[in-house]
Structures are given as C-alpha cells and as structure tokens.
Amino acid sequence: MSTPLTAQQTPATRRRERWPLLVHTAALLPLLVAIADLLLGRLTVNPIQDLTHRSGYTALVLLVASLACTPISMVFGFKRVLTLRRPLGLYGFGYALVHMLIFVVVDFGLDITLIWQEVAEKRYILAGMAALLLLIPLAITSTSGWQRRLGRRWRLVHRLVYLAVPLAVIHYIWLVKADIREPLLYAALVILLLLLRLGPLRRAITTWRRRLSS
C-alpha cells in the first residue's frame, strides 16, 4: 500500500503521485460518461437497466484490474503498480455499491417484499449480493490506520477479495442470457490472476525474473 506522503518529496515520489491520478481519472470516467448520457438522454429508452449494466460492468473491470496489480508487479518487476490496488479496489467497490443501490432504490423502489422475492428466486442476485457483502469489510479496513491496527490479520482479511471477485464473475455468467463468451473471458482472467498467486508458481516467476535481470 502507498505510504502517506511526507513533506520532503523527491522528484521520484512526485512522479509516483501521477499514477494514482491516472487511476482516479480512468475510474471516474465511466461515471462522468454516464452522467453526460443521462443528461443527453442517451441511456436507451430503458435508462434504469442501462445504468444497472454500466455500473456493474465498471465495478467488475475495476475489481479485476485491482486483482491484476500483484501478478503484474511479479512478472514485470513493476513495483509501483502495487500502489494502485487500493484505489482500484475502492472504486470497484464504489461502483458495485452504486450498482446495488440502483437495483434496490431506483429499480425496485425499496419494495422489500419484491426485492426479497428477487434475491431468493434468482441465484445470480445471491452471488452478486455475496460478492458485495464480502467487499464491505475490505473497503472499511482499507485505510492505513486499519492496516496498522490489524497488523498481520489485515492480509488475512483482505484475502476475502479472492472470493469476492470470483463471485462477481459468477454473478455475471449467470445473468447473461445465452452468449457467455465475455463472462467466460473474465472467468479465465480471474482464474489466471489467482493461479499466479499460488506459492510454487509465484516462486518460479520470481526466480525466473531474477535470473533475467542478473
């Protein structure tokens, strides 16, 4: 995780700052585009459904991107990318939260009976809800303060993401009507990103990279 910035900034640390800036811009772009499309009436004639799809898709992309940071740093020895895990994960959670709120508040108008019926009836909603619930403790403990307080246990807690993202992908696979090529692509990507974290593979990659650089 990124260390809090101190008063004495070197040119190198200032360069480091640009990275999160890029992430902030990229992550906020879908929101800005959605607002623009809302104002211009470009959200199809079924705007609620369109917003639901957009927010869910963006959440998934950001969460997978967050999951990709560690393997990228491993394979390419690109340490700075690790600082992006937190903002990417938090933005992903933010979009997932908006996604759920659109469903609960806008689409179903807080009608608890109807919502309960939906959640109980549809396995894809259960998967999505589970993914979001798992992300909540991660978002809360994402601050440096919580990281310090939890110490070793922090990493353990944050491994929940290895469960949450696959659940989000399952949510996506189950909701698509027929052509599940794209959801399966995400599934393959997530499986790869998780496999790369496994001990033996991880060590093999690190040794291989050391040999390359020496």
Partner 1 sequence: MVRDNTTSESDDDMIKIPSSEIPPELVYHDRRRFLRSFGVLTAGALALGACGSLPGAAAPPPTVLPGATDGATDELGDPLNSFEQITNYNNFYEFTTEKQGVAALAQGLRTAPWNLEVGGLVRNPRTFAIEDLLTQYDQEERIYRLRCVEAWSMVIPWQGFPLHKLLAVVEPTAEARYLRFETLYDPEQMPGQRSSWFSWPYVEGLRLDEAMHDLTLLSTGLYGRTLLPQNGAPIRLVVPWKYGFKSIKSIVKIDLVAEMPTSLWMAAAPNEYGFYANVNPDVAHPRWTQATERRIGEYSRRPTLPFNGYAEQVAELYADLDLRVNY
* Residue ranges that bind partner 1, judged by CB under 8 A: 40-42, 44-46, 48-49, 107-109, 111, 114, 117-118, 121-124, 174-175, 177-179, 181
CA distance 126 to 115: 11
Q: How far is the CB of 31 from partner 1 (least distance, A)?
A: 19
Yes or no: say if 52 and 113 are a contact pair by the CB < 8 Å rule: no
Between 118 and 194, whose beta carbon lies closer to partner 1? 118
Q: Is the backbone of residue 110 left (phi > 0), alpha (psi -120 to 50) or beta?
A: left
CA distance 130 to 42: 31
Q: How far is the CB of 46 from partner 1 (least distance, A)?
A: 6
Between 126 and 196, whose beta carbon lies closer to partner 1? 126
Q: How far is the CB of 161 from partner 1 (least distance, A)?
A: 26
Q: Radius of gyration over alpha carbons of the chain, in Å? A: 19
Q: How far is the CB of 130 from partner 1 (least distance, A)?
A: 17
Distance in Å from the first CA to the final CA of the chain: 27
Q: How far is the CB of 173 from partner 1 (least distance, A)?
A: 12
Between 173 and 189, whose beta carbon lies closer to partner 1? 173
Between 82 and 126, whose beta carbon lies closer to partner 1? 126
Yes or no: say if 130 and 167 are a contact pair by the CB < 8 Å rule: yes
Q: How far is the CB of 35 from partner 1 (least distance, A)?
A: 15
Between 10 and 113, whose beta carbon lies closer to partner 1? 113
Between 7 and 45, whose beta carbon lies closer to partner 1? 45
The two tokens of residue 42 are 């470009």
DSSP label at 87? Answer: H
> In this structure, is the dihedral angle defined by the CA atoms of residues 37, 43, 49 and 54, taken in order, positive or negative?
negative
DSSP letters of 117-178? HHHHH-HHHHHHHHHHHHHHHHHHTTSHHHHHHHTHHHHHHHTTHHHHHHHHHHHHHHH--S
